[in-house]
Amino acid sequence: MNITVIGTGYVGLVSGVCYAEIGNKVTCVDKDENKIKLLNRGGIPIYEPGLQELLMVNADAGKLTFTTDLESAVRSADLVIIAVGTPPLPSGEADLRYIEGAVREVASSIHGYTIVAVKSTVPVGTNDRVRQIIAEGTTQEFDVVSVPEFLREGSAVKDTLNPDRIVIGADNKRAADILVELHIPLTEEIVVTDIRSAEMIKYASNAFLATKISFINEIANICEKMGADVGEVAKGMGLDRRIGPAFLKAGIGYGGSCFPKDTKALIQIAGNVEYDFKLLKSVVEVNQTQRWGVIDKLYRALGSLSGRKIAIWGLAFKPGTDDVREAPAIEIIEKLIELGATPKVYDPVAMDNFRELMDHPSISWCLNEWDAVSGCDAVCLLTEWEEFCNIDLHKVEQLMARPVMVDGRNVFGAEQIKQTSIAYYPVGRPPINDKIEEIV
């Protein structure tokens, strides 16, 4: 099948590469000339394990091309996939201007029967609007389908080639059958449904996962006050098949380009039909306050934070990606600066993206994890990159001015820490070597 993907971000690029990998001829379009130039040179604009290798193989085989010329890419396509961003407006609602802009351009370029599939996460009812815009811009035959995307950054290639399920929202059999056939090489779990339900499945799935995270974070906060261990609690809960172990890892809350925006958008979507989604509002609020646990623990260990050097391990919103959108690190670092501390930051892949977002003179940009902890009063582990999880804690302890660690991702076990003198503050688990009086 001839497929054109509009938008070569995390979703569009990975989808385009993977559709080529399963035997299609794919053209990826972006209006960002620099991205397309880089892709045409064999580079990739994002960090995503396994993507570059797969891209090269398929580009070399002539199955994958990149262009800024939307019109000719759409003209020759049987299927056009829209994968542009839907960032949040200040109200929390999804900003649909990129979708509408892309769809208008697509409408004036389609030639012969074309399916337009929307992969971007869009509020329920948006695909009706997409259909209307295309109908206004063309006399050609077309169908609109909703194919929401569920990939996770950091394992996007794996997720796309081995999805748990594919959801296809269509209002006619011809388009649905073509989309089913396209995805059969990936999975047999294909849910064909109406368009509005498909749009809702995406938001409901992300809202549910966010709810699990905020739930376990609240349990963690209670565990801290009661002397229980949230790791043990989550293990005991997760073995119940009705609950399952996924997304029961306590920490500093979710971030990234999806959960924060999709939860807020669903609250707005509900509000638009006069439904007050109380549960989801609490999930968002709990997530927002969860990150301040890091600051509270620093206070507990160090007293005043003014003039303190605080190492930050990890800036990306999770390991395996360079994406820093809505990363908890942003607000934590802002708060440290406000309190007069010097954050010494390091992330194995997200330094450039973070610097673009926040190039504050108080931030010290470090060369590696050792440089970051050197001479520091405390280290905060905010992203569980493997190199932090496997670190030599004795060496860390020696390099620091004060051996204090706030572990926002609970990566170290009590036994490991007990072999050191590090004052250790995890989430929802008892602190270790909590020598608060000596240090303050």
Among 1, 2, 32, 357, binds ligand NAD (CB under 6 A): 32
Told to check if 7 binds ligand NAD by CB under 6 A, we report yes
Q: Which stretch binds ligand NAD (CB under 6 A): 23-31, 276-284, 332-340, 401-409?
A: 23-31
Identify residues 193-252 at the interface with ligand NAD (CB under 6 A).
none
Told to check if 171 binds ligand NAD by CB under 6 A, we report no
Q: Which is nearer to ligand NAD, 12 or 314 (CB)?
A: 12
How many residues sit in the footprint of ligand NAD (CB under 6 A)? 28
Cα–Cα–Cα angle for 171, 175, 179, nearest 5°?
115
Among 257, 353, 420, 433, binds ligand NAD (CB under 6 A): 257
Name the closest residue to ligand NAD (Cβ).
9
Among 21, 48, 93, 149, binds ligand NAD (CB under 6 A): 149
Told to check if 29 binds ligand NAD by CB under 6 A, we report yes
Told to check if 126 binds ligand NAD by CB under 6 A, we report no
Q: Which stretch binds ligand NAD (CB under 6 A): 8-16, 209-217, 355-363, 369-377?
A: 8-16
Told to check if 432 binds ligand NAD by CB under 6 A, we report no
Shortest distance, CB of residue 38 to ligand NAD, whole angstroms? 11
Torsion, Cα 122 126 132 133, to 10 degrees, reads -40
Phi-psi region of 156 (alpha: psi -120 to 50; beta: other; left: phi over 0): alpha
Among 3, 39, 79, 102, binds ligand NAD (CB under 6 A): 102
Told to check if 31 binds ligand NAD by CB under 6 A, we report yes
Shortest distance, CB of residue 7 to ligand NAD, whole angstroms? 3
Residue in 18, 223, 258, 376 annotated catalytic: 258
Shortest distance, CB of residue 268 to ligand NAD, whole angstroms? 14
Q: Which is nearer to ligand NAD, 122 or 311 (CB)?
A: 122
What length is written for the chain? 440
Told to check if 427 binds ligand NAD by CB under 6 A, we report no
| 380 among known catalytic residues | no
Told to check if 317 binds ligand NAD by CB under 6 A, we report no
Told to check if 332 binds ligand NAD by CB under 6 A, we report no
Per-residue mark of binding to ligand NAD, 37-66 (x: CB under 6 A): ------------------------------
Told to check if 159 binds ligand NAD by CB under 6 A, we report no
C-alpha dihedral sign at 257, 258, 260, 266: positive
The answer to whether the CB of 80 falls within 8 A of the CB of 26 is no
Three-state helix/strand/coil letters over the chain: CEEEEECCCHHHHHHHHHHHHCCCEEEEECCCHHHHHHHHCCCCCCCCCCHHHHHHHHHHCCCEEEECCHHHHHHCCCEEEECCCCCECCCCCECCHHHHHHHHHHHCCCCCCEEEEECCCCCCCHHHHHHHHHHHHCCCCEEEEECCCCCCCCCHHHHHHCCCCEEEECCCHHHHHHHHHHHCCCCCCEEEECHHHHHHHHHHHHHHHHHHHHHHHHHHHHHHHHCCCHHHHHHHHHCCCCCCCCCCCCCCCCCCCCHHHHHHHHHHHHHHCCCCCHHHHHHHHHHHHHCHHHHHHHHHHHCCCCCCEEEEECCCCCCCCCCCCCCHHHHHHHHHHHCCCEEEEECCCCHHHHHHHCCCCCCEECCCHHHHHCCCCEEEECCCCHHHHCCCHHHHHHHCCCCEEEECCCCCCHHHHHCCCCEEECCCCCCECCCHHHHC
Among 153, 322, 369, 384, binds ligand NAD (CB under 6 A): 153
Shortest distance, CB of residue 14 to ligand NAD, whole angstroms? 8
Told to check if 30 binds ligand NAD by CB under 6 A, we report yes
d(CA 295, CA 310): 11
Told to check if 98 binds ligand NAD by CB under 6 A, we report yes
Told to check if 101 binds ligand NAD by CB under 6 A, we report yes
Shortest distance, CB of residue 253 to ligand NAD, whole angstroms? 17
Among 11, 79, 330, 376, binds ligand NAD (CB under 6 A): 11
Torsion, Cα 150 153 154 155, to 10 degrees, reads 20
Told to check if 27 binds ligand NAD by CB under 6 A, we report no
Told to check if 322 binds ligand NAD by CB under 6 A, we report no
Residues marked as catalytic: 258
Footprint on this chain of ligand NAD (rule: CB under 6 A): 6-12, 29-32, 35, 70, 83-86, 98, 101-102, 105, 120-121, 149, 151, 153, 257-258
